[in-house]
Structure 1
Amino acid sequence: AWKGDWPLATKSPLVGGHEGAGVVVGMGSAVKNWKLGDLAGIKWLNGSCMNCEFCMHGDEPNCAHADLSGYTHDGSFQQYATADAVQAGRIPAGTNLSEIAPILCAGVTAYKAIKTAELKPGDWCCISGSGGGLGTLAIQFAKAMGLRVIGIDGGAGKEKLCLDLGAEKYIDFTKTKDIVKDVIAATDGGPHAVINVSVSERAIDASVNYVRPTGTVVLVGLPAGAVCKSEVFSQVVRSVKIKGSYVGNRCDTAEAIDFYVRGLVKSPIKVIGLSELPMVYDLMEKGEILGRYVVDTSR
């Protein structure tokens, strides 16, 4: 929505923000199972039809009538925001709202991507883009799920951050001369899965080549106009799977929140006021954000 580089129409004017946490202060007359004072989460998927094939199979994000926070529906960068009562995330009482907010999109998305890879404990999981908002959470989810984690990113402070969060190994793409060779060597034959949360087409291309034979490449990040290239002979002979993973459903959300509540994941955050958003967008454009910025709309 910010750059207008996705092939999806957005509303205009638009209030941004696609992961938010707050207190229920009003409800529609037909809403059940919520009460005033409950803590609720706004997700990227604000609402869906709940009647189509995808919604009935638990694939609500793929609904043709999906309503998207901060894109087709005014988002969470405001004092009062609305959410579909069916899709709103349930947050336990007493939860730190600043800490839980990134779980509602970045966390759910990272968690679902790892589930999509269908790994088993002890497998190598590579997080490409490991120092950002999704990557830092993906490291923790993967570690909590019993996986061995290797992170890939570049820039000041990201290696220490990734290792501190649980990555067993880390590769700085700005320093390596052959990332494919280095990742394969570091993981004894290549990771069993690669979770691509970076917005680099070059990183995606590399992942197809260093993933372990019979492994899975999961595409999550959305570089504008990017194409995933895979040489067919190699993909067939190595039995490599390439999958897309797009946020998560209500069950994925509840599970991701539970990981946070149990103390297994926690997004590295910095809390700012609404007036500081332009500064954050500038840092994001430069790739200089470690973890996640959280906007406190009361400041």
Structure 2
Amino acid sequence: MTIEGIPKEMKAVQVVEFHKPYKIHQVPTPTQLKDHEILLKTVVASLCHTDSMVTAGKFPTKLPCTASHEGTGIVKAVGSKVTNFKVGDRVMSGLPKGPCGSCVNCQKNDWRQYCENIEGHIGVFVDGAFAEYHVVDSRSSCHIPDNVSFTSAAPLACAGCTIYRAIIVSEVKKGDWLAIVGAGGGLGHLGIQFARAKGINIVAIDARDEGLELCKKAGAEHIFDAREGNEIVVKKIQDLTDGLGVHAAINVSEHETSADLACEVTRMHGYMIQVAQPDRVSIAFQQLIFRDIQVKGTLIAGQEYSQQMLHDVGKHNIKVETNLFYGLEEVPRMVELSHSGKMKGKAVCVVDNDELKKEKVSSS
């Protein structure tokens, strides 16, 4: 379908060459929608670690590609088969776009994001949210509740969905112990809050002063500095957990020792959930063989869990630590500061400040 009333061109931040800075320029506005697609007027888009992996050429991304897979916006048009969104709706962008709908993964609700025949994930394989308009799939996107803001929802599109599903995959229950290695980052500080809202006891581990401070701000009561060394950290956590260790650990750190540490703090026969994406995950064989630690990988959540996450954010007043930048022109500075290691929380770009000012978020 063709969309009327939309400008022919728009500003976009794109990867045009691997290992090079983003280029900000005018590109054609997407005005042709497939059956299940929706066109969003972008309000907020945020930066994620995966964006740096795209620029580094870690994925077979076809260039040029508009960056950012964490977006929010207002529906301006819908495809012919879209029934769950209408013009004017507030939306958190879904990452998966164009799943085949017929493979084994597509047949199971929370496996659809693993479709191997998918068109791509926005901002990674196809154009993303660092633009004045962007196109997403109605089958993976979510309605933003009235009590959740555009600026809070944008970082949740990947970081929130990812850590939320990791907690579900860990199978920890209310009253159990869960460790997060790398807890003082964008995913980790959300994981602390999600777990606490579910009544799970949290052990937060980080190796940066800024990260440890964010763990405390997020509400973690048991915080450990990984710089003390694995042996000391493990002993302290075992002392806290009747000598057993946590029921499960989630690793969101790419440090070469972090996966090992996540296994070491976990009790025998427990789960280690690997979320971080280093080139290689290194774990001592003793953890897998002699302690029977079971490793699970996890991607983002599907639509059902993502929508559930957004409702939990509103219900439990989950706070997203954001660093706001205004205008797509500020994206290069966002990237520079986020890579400095001194930023607490998520770097978020307000793409359309006029629309953001109109937003009225309820308190309940």
Q: TM-score, normalised by structure 1?
A: 0.92
Q: Show the counterpart of 1:97.
A: 150
2:133 maps to amino acid? Y
1:260-299 Cα deviation digits (max 9, x unpaired): 1213422111211222222332233333221112111126
Q: Show the counterpart of 1:116.
A: 169
Take 2:235 and 2:335, find their aligned partners in 1: how far apart are those partners? 34
* Residue 173 of structure 1, aligned match among 214, 222, 226: 226
Structure 1, 128-137 or 188-197: larger mean CA deviation: 188-197
1:222 CA drift (Å): 0.6
Q: Show the counterpart of 1:28.
A: 79
Q: Show the counterpart of 2:260.
A: 205
Q: Show the counterpart of 2:273.
A: 218
Take 2:235 and 2:270, find their aligned partners in 1: how far apart are those partners? 16
Report if aligned partners of 1:117, 1:218 keep a CA contact under 8 Å in 2: yes
The alignment yields a C-alpha RMSD, in angstroms, of 2.0
- Structure 2, unmatched stretches of 5+, are 1-50, 354-364
* Residue 134 of structure 1, aligned match among 184, 187, 200: 187
Question: Quick one: structure 1 residues 6 and 241, their matched pair in 2 at CA, closer, same or farther if it must change by over 3 Å?
Answer: farther
Q: Show the counterpart of 2:116.
A: 64
- 4+ aligned runs moved over 6 Å, structure 1: none
Take 1:190 and 1:25, find their aligned partners in 2: how far apart are those partners? 50
SS of the residue aligned with 1:201? coil
Q: Show the counterpart of 1:295.
A: 349
Q: Show the counterpart of 2:245.
A: 190
Question: Quick one: structure 1 residues 46 and 19, their matched pair in 2 at CA, closer, same or farther if it must change by over 3 Å?
Answer: farther
1:25 CA drift (Å): 0.8
Q: TM-score, normalised by structure 2?
A: 0.76
Take 1:254 and 1:13, find their aligned partners in 2: how far apart are those partners? 31
Report if aligned partners of 1:46, 1:88 keep a CA contact under 8 Å in 2: no
1:180 maps to amino acid? V
Take 2:117 and 2:57, find their aligned partners in 1: how far apart are those partners? 17
Structure number having the greater strand percentage: 2
1:147 CA drift (Å): 0.7
1:176 CA drift (Å): 4.3
Structure showing greater Rg: 2
Report if aligned partners of 1:41, 1:88 keep a CA contact under 8 Å in 2: yes
1:89-129 Cα deviation digits (max 9, x unpaired): 12234641111111221111111000001011111111111
Question: Quick one: structure 1 residues 119 and 6, their matched pair in 2 at CA, closer, same or farther if it must change by over 3 Å?
Answer: farther
Report if aligned partners of 2:210, 2:342 keep a CA contact under 8 Å in 1: no
1:245 maps to amino acid? T
Structure 1, 38-47 or 212-221: larger mean CA deviation: 38-47
SS of the residue aligned with 1:221? coil
* Residue pairs, 1:136-175, within 5 angstroms: 136-175=189-228
Q: Show the counterpart of 2:358.
A: none
Take 1:20 and 1:261, find their aligned partners in 2: how far apart are those partners? 18
Establish whether residue 286 from structure 1 lines up as the match of residue 331 from structure 2: no
Q: Show the counterpart of 2:30.
A: none
Take 1:33 and 1:245, find their aligned partners in 2: how far apart are those partners? 27
Q: Show the counterpart of 1:14.
A: 65
1:177 CA drift (Å): 6.7
SS of the residue aligned with 1:166? coil
Take 2:204 and 2:90, find their aligned partners in 1: how far apart are those partners? 33
Question: Quick one: structure 1 residues 71 and 52, their matched pair in 2 at CA, closer, same or farther if it must change by over 3 Å?
Answer: same
Structure 1, 128-137 or 179-188: larger mean CA deviation: 179-188
1:42-83 Cα deviation digits (max 9, x unpaired): 133234222111011120121102320101111111110001
Take 2:300 and 2:255, find their aligned partners in 1: how far apart are those partners? 19
